[in-house]
Amino acid sequence: MDILEKCTAPSLARELKKKGVYPYFHALESRQDVEVMMEGKRRIMLGSNNYLGLTIHPEIIEAGIKALERYGTGCSGSRFLNGTLEMHLELEAELGKFLRKPGIVTFGTGFQSNVGIISALVGRHDYMICDKENHASIYAGCQMSYGKMLRYAHSDMAGLERCLQKVPEDHGALIITDGVFSMGGDIAKLPEICALAKKYGARVMVDDAHGLGVLGEGGRGTASYFGLEDQVDIYMGTFSKSLASLGGYMAASEEVADFVRHASRPFIFSASIPPANCATALAALRHLEAHPELPERLKELSLYARKGLTERGLTIRESALNVPTPIIPIYTYETYRTLDVAAKIYDRGVYVNPTLPPATPEGEALLRTSYMATHTEALLDEAMDIIADVMVNEHE
């Protein structure tokens, strides 16, 4: 059998392209902002993870330019060997102070961070216990490790406890959860997770890719929001969302960080974060520290959008634990209806992300909308009117 035969077999992607509703790989012709030029037309951007709107901030852009001029385009090696810049250490030190975790390890991407952390820490006789809606990079890390993975239904704390009860007493256990879940926008039940971890002697890791800059004191994330910074052992996060760059990190104790530096294959055998990306992440972090009002503005706009969508007759996913995040899913339920309305909304000048099974349960397809602190109420009203006109009026 030809191993490449699968590449020419009929597929959903080919079918959607033929029908003219293929929703992916739309090309930007401008900066990532609240309004963009995409395929020759102005679109209101409701599909970005640029939560604080910092990708276009002049000071942050200037920091990247200066780093290019000083250090060149890349490091041409891993952090383990020739690829450590003074600036990498500076970024790690400042991030450690901000997150109140002294041990920071930075990776080339967020995906690589989860793979690198989990595969380094979880050994052959250890267990990983995962929420079923965890990010794909967490599952990739679990697959690369030598441990055993157990899963519980989304936010089902009774299910989590049943998993913990299956772990032998002489084996290690790591509970891994998203802080803010990337598709649903809901928040992990961290107080209950930490209580169960303490009861069963497990450790806790939180993927806070969508929590940094969004929740907690000054945007410090999900653990800060709940006042549980001392009970979460490991944070993972990214620079590609609120910090307007590219890369990822682990925050933990000095001992855990040092172990991962010497045991993580994705860290040891990958080139380090390029100078411009490092500099922009550092500048964005400093900007967030200097402007703690940004997460508050993001919260205001998220509440405004949630209220506006509901008032326009759209069905949205409720905010779990009454914590508003800038990810607001609009239910469309059926796959082809989702693709149809997404295409019409796009044609009318609003970009949203259609989310289909298996990223959602069957029959629960949705449009994932996400918001920035730099949006205005007027711009959101314009976008919400278009979405409602397509979904409510055209589909009645």
**Same CATH topology for 5-51+292-393 and 58-290?**
no
Spatial distance between the Cα atoms of 328 and 306, rounded to a whole number of angstroms = 7
Q: Is 272 a residue of the active site?
A: no
Q: Out of 88, 210, 299, 344, pick the active-site residue.
A: 210
Domain coordinates in residue numbering, the chain:
5-51+292-393, 58-290
Rg of the chain in Å (alpha carbons): 21
State the amino acid at position 283 in one-letter form.
Answer: A
Spatial distance between the Cα atoms of 143 and 221, rounded to a whole number of angstroms = 27
Calculate mean pLDDT across residues 27-51.
97
Quick: pLDDT tens for 25-34: 999 999 999 9
Q: Out of 119, 137, 182, 240, pick the active-site residue.
A: 182
Structure tokens at 336: 């082809």
pLDDT band at 394 (very low <50, low <70, confident <90, very high): low
161: burial class by Cβ within 10 Å (0-12, 13-18, 19+)? middle
Residue whose C-alpha is closest to residue 41's, from 342, 347, 387: 347
Q: Is 17 a residue of the active site?
A: no
In this predicted structure, what is the pLDDT of residue 289?
A: 98
pLDDT band at 358 (very low <50, low <70, confident <90, very high): confident
Q: With 0.85 as the threshold, say if the pTM is over it.
A: yes
Q: Does domain 5-51+292-393 have CATH number 3.90.1150.10?
A: yes
In this predicted structure, what is the pLDDT of residue 233?
A: 98
pLDDT band at 320 (very low <50, low <70, confident <90, very high): low
Cβ 345 vs Cβ 390: under 8 Å: yes
Spatial distance between the Cα atoms of 213 and 228, rounded to a whole number of angstroms = 17
Spatial distance between the Cα atoms of 365 and 375, rounded to a whole number of angstroms = 26
pLDDT band at 101 (very low <50, low <70, confident <90, very high): very high
Structure tokens at 176: 């891994």
Q: Is 210 a residue of the active site?
A: yes
The class of domain 58-290 in CATH terms is alpha beta
Q: Out of 101, 154, 241, 375, pick the active-site residue.
A: 241
- Which residues, 6 or more positions from 2, have their beta carbon under 8 angstroms from its beta carbon? none
